[in-house]
Each structure stands twice: as C-alpha cells, then as structure tokens.
Structure 1
C-alpha cells in the first residue's frame, strides 16, 4: 500500500477506460455507478487492500468475503454494504455468478446542495462494520433504488445528478435505519450522547495519512476536557453504553491504526510511533506488544 489513499480519479483510471474517466470528471463529486457482474466477468476486481478517499455503497447478491481493516466478514445472499475513507477494504467474490450494483462518489457529491457531511453520520463513524443482510421487501425496495440510479445515470437529463443525490440519500438513511437499536432511540439519554461524541472525537483523528499528523487525544482526561465534563463521568458513560472502558476504546483504535500503518506503509517504526502520539519508540513497542503479544517489527514481517 502507498502512504496515501487511492483517489477516486485513480480508481477510475485503474479500473475503466479513459473515455469513462473523462466523462466522470465532468460531474461534481465524480459519481459513478456500475454492475458488480461486469467487473467480475472482465477480471477487474483485483482485491487491492488499500484506503480510498471516496465512498462506496454496494448491493451484492452472492457469496463473498469482505476485508475491513484487520477483520474479514463472509457474506452470503443479498447484502447491503457501505464503505468510507476511514477504513481500508477489499473483497473476494467466491463465485462468478455474484451480481449487484455499486456507486462510488466523493464526500463533495452530497456535501453541496444537501450539506450532508457523510463522515459525521453514525453510519460512517461507528466502529461496527456497516454490512447488512437484506431479505424480502427490504431487498426489493433497495434494489429498486439502485436500478433507478443506473437508469438515470444513462440519461441526458440536465438535472440527473441532482436526482441521483436524492436516491443516494435514500440508501444512506435506509442503512442508518438498519443500525443497532440505539441509533433509533427517541429519548436519547446523556450517556448515549456523551458516548456518541466521544466516538466521533476519537474517529475524527483517523486515518493518519501524513507524517506531520499526530494522534493527540490519547488519554480519557483529554476527551473529558474537550467535552467539558469530569473524566470519571465520561468513564461511567462509556462503560454504561458499551460495556468497555474509555481506555479500551482508545487502545483498540490505536492498535487498529498501528496495524494499518505497519502493514501498508513504508514508514519507519519510529515515525509510526511518533504519529500515534508516543514520545519514545520503546513506549510504542511495549504498548503494541501488550495488546497483540508481538512487537511492531515482528507484526510487519508476517
């Protein structure tokens, strides 16, 4: 993996012909929609496990294995999936009869007229992977939206992208409705609100793509100060909502980012140690070994 994520321009250039790349560049947000089976049949799936700087929404019919970060998720049947720039991913179609539709677009595509910042939505800030098994009427409704997107993208209608934006929003909010019940709670309590903001503050610091970036919020007290609450109250809220400690969440996210940087960049371990907020490389090594039972150097060689 390169030190920087794959851009949407690179995605089109690597996967599709030059004429399509020129056409796509004409629209704001560089939106594109494709059928999964077309890429599988032409051999252009090539699972490149890297970060992208764009979003993807996919409806898949078939069996595959999706790799999100350091997790592998097998799917079967009809599945709705969302991908975002926070997490590197790829997938392996397990059969040539897999089919479906996927859309790719930048954050700017919806952060225009709609003022919709996707990276601030619960669907893209939760640490749980947004992969949903879809059945019955849900599948029919979602597939119909994708088909409308495909049909509209082929028209010459001057406002077709404005209409497509509405369809994308429909898919995004449909996905948010499929999230765990806490995202649909009408009477959101203080513990939930604090936990949600904490998770957003934590996730906002990633991914680390440049050596001049640095993870600063490493201590629960730092987060508590940002929220203007006592650290003990923060810890109680996090524990109540998630069953885990504030420190556990911070450490897990640090380890996940450390693994990504060790595997998919050529940065020195000392450089990785620095951007993750450690003053000494030895402190990073001890931290990494505590949670993984191996040293950073050993992990990189696997």
Structure 2
C-alpha cells in the first residue's frame, strides 16, 4: 500500500509548497480546494499519508476510509491521520472549501494529536454540517488561510490555536465521544497500553509482514499482567473482552487488505496471524456473513 509523503504531495502542487517553515515548528499548510483540485480521476487507490489532513468540503463525493465507504453531500468536515488508508471518489465536478495538512511535529509540544477522537475512526472523523455550522467552520479556515500569508512573527502559534478550535468545535458536536480520554486510573492505563500494543502491529503494508500478538494471553504476557486482570480492565473501560477487541481490529484490517490489495486469501490470512487459510476464511465469514472473496468482489463492483 502506497504511503504518500509530503514531498510527493507537493509534486502535484509545487506552487503551494511553503519551503520557508522553520524545522522546529513542524509542517502546516492550508489550501483553497477550488484552486487545487484536478479533474476527476478514473483510477482510485488506497494510500496512507505521512501527515494529518483536515478538510472542509462542499460537494458530492465518497470517502473510502479504512474498511468503510461513506457518501458525503453538502458541507462536511473530514479528519484523516497517517495510520488510516483512504481515498476520495469525487461524484460531482464542483467542490469548494479548504483543506489543511500538518505533521505531528506541529503539535509536538502540546500533547499527542492522535489521541483526539476525530482522528480515531470514520464514525468520529466524518462530520456532516448544517449551513449554520458550516459558516462557523468556514470562518476559522478562512482565518487560517489568511494568517498563513501574513508576516506575523507568531503566526504558527496562532494557526495552531485556530486548528485546535476546529478540532474541539467538531468534537463538541459529538459529546458522547468528545470527552477527554487522558485519565489516570489503573484500568484506563492498562487499556491505553493494550491499544498501543495492538495498534503497533498495524497497518499491514507488505505480504511478508505478520502480526505476532493475536491472543488475550499473548497480550497479557507482553503487559506482564494476568489475563483475567487484562480482561477485567478492558471490560470496565470498553465494555468488550480482550478477544473481542483483538478480533474487531483484525477484521477491520482484513477488510482493508481485501479492498486495497491483490493479495490472495492465504497471504492475507497469514499476515493476520492465521496459519491456515481456511481458519481465516471461517473467521471472516462468521463475522461478515459473506465469504472473503465475495466481499472483495462486492467492493470492486
């Protein structure tokens, strides 16, 4: 799966590359979408970016985000991160709005940007907007666009604050998932360590890359705690068992690989920790209610 680097990204928009940003600041840029969108492409492929992107879009399109395909119309906010493969499929020719790109270094002194819910999954990353809300966010993006062109000495601090206002504004529209997740009790610390260990194995980018930790007992051993202790902590915080969480993540990656690669079923199963391809096939069919090959074909069609 391709990983689009910033250098590659700017090959398409050489006039937009801000080459004067100090290294210690990280990278930030914002674009007027109407000025950079190329004509619709017939070929679309999954890829990951080496940077974060926040887009304010008005137009009709589909975003293929991880294992989901979400159709968007009208005003929409979209948050993407370097860990999730995606591509845009434009339906209408006309799209307006803004997009900004930035690296994790841009926020390095202000916590981990990837901990915010809007960067953690399609359910929280793609937010339809009413006309009133769209006007509010459009004002914020327009201020960022204008500020980037200024000579203000502290403009990157101001841009960082404006971008955080966009992020928090989006999360306040989703109060159930917008609560702060930085806590200190033991169960939540264990859950955080488990999730970090699980996610460290993904995404799968080569067909000779296989996950090594794929059972509750293996995760407990890595975390140096009893498996019952791990299960209790995860159940308390997530409402799910260790095995459920592992299987959900493996299933998500399976869908991504079926959609975004031409690897055969045995290769995908091996990468996901299944020594026998029929074990992977049974795992997939029991949860998706369709065979892996049929699922792949349905995504192509």
TM-score when normalising by structure 1: 0.77
Which residue of structure 2 lines up, in the alignment, with residue 255 of structure 1? 251
Point out where structure 1 has 5 or more consecutive residues left out of the alignment.
none
Q: How many residues align?
A: 294
Partner of 1:219 in structure 2?
A: 215
Q: CA deviation at 1:250?
A: 1.6
Structure 1 residue 184 and structure 2 residue 179: aligned?
yes
Q: Check the 8 A contact 1:258/1:276 in 2, yes or no.
A: yes
Measured in 2, the distance between the counterparts of 1:195 and 1:48 equals 33
Contact 1:64 1:76 in 2 (8 A): yes
In the other structure, the counterpart of 1:87 is 84
Alignment equivalent of 2:140, drawn from 134, 137, 145: 145
Deviation, 1:103, is: 0.4
Structure 2 partner of 1:110 = 107
Do residues 50 (structure 1) and 47 (structure 2) align?
yes
8 A contact 2:40–2:93 mirrored in 1: no
CA shift at 1:242, angstroms? Answer: 4.8
Gaps of 5+ in 2: none
1:161–1:212 distance in 2 versus 1, CA, 3 Å? farther
Superposed displacement of residue 249, structure 1: 2.6
Moved more, 200-209 or 287-296: 287-296
Tell me if the contact between 2:207 and 2:271 (Cα under 8 Å) persists in the aligned partners.
Answer: yes
Aligned to 1:64: 61
Q: State the secondary structure of the residue aligned to 1:277.
A: coil
Distance 1:185 1:121 in 2: 8
RMSD value, Cα: 3.5
Distance 1:187 1:101 in 2: 30
Aligned to 2:128: 133
Question: What's the counterpart of residue 8 of structure 1?
Answer: 6
Q: Distance in 1 between matches of 2:296 and 2:176?
A: 38
